[in-house]
């Protein structure tokens, strides 16, 4: 993730899971300090300060969607069939999104917003 990249904010633990808005990367990846703290829930004894396993980025809120774009809605969109998020068994916490997929998601969000008016 690079400075300025736009991010789809996805709630994976919701029922159903859904894209709920947009954010932007405001600080590129840096070592996740919580992995080094034995008192932290995210502690990883294999991660070392000189060779970190885990990284984090800072993001900034941009927009909340009027309606969540649920995973079933995204899976039903034929034009998103190659998107990593809708692939069966995909469990990455951070996933790449191709520019055309990002645009389709924005169009879907806009169309949901119009249907509520």
Tens-digit pLDDT profile for residues 37-79: 999 999 999 999 999 999 999 999 999 999 999 999 999 999 9
Does a structural domain hold residue 1? no
Query: Total domain count for the chain?
Result: 1
**Taking the alpha carbons of 33, 39, 40, 46 in that order, is the dihedral positive or negative?**
positive
Does a structural domain hold residue 29? yes
Cα separations in angstroms, 71 against 13, 15, 57, 75, 109: 11, 9, 24, 6, 13
Model confidence at 107: pLDDT above 90: yes
Separation of alpha carbons 101 and 14, rounded Å: 22
> Which range marks the domain in which residue 108 is found?
6-115
Per residue in 18-35, pLDDT tens? 999 999 999 999 999 999
């Amino acid at each position: 993730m690079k400075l300025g990249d736009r991010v789809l904010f996805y709630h994976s633990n919701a029922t159903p899971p859904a894209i709920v808005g947009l954010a932007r990367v405001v600080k590129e990846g840096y070592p996740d300090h919580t992995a080094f703290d034995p008192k932290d829930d995210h502690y990883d004894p294999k991660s070392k300060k000189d060779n970190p396993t885990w990284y984090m980025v800072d993001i900034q809120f941009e927009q909340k969607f009027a309606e969540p774009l649920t995973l079933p809605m995204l899976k039903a969109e034929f034009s998103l069939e190659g998107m990593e998020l809708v692939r069966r068994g995909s469990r990455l916490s951070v996933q790449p999104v191709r520019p055309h997929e990002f645009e389709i998601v924005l169009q879907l969000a806009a169309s949901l917003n119009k249907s509520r008016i």
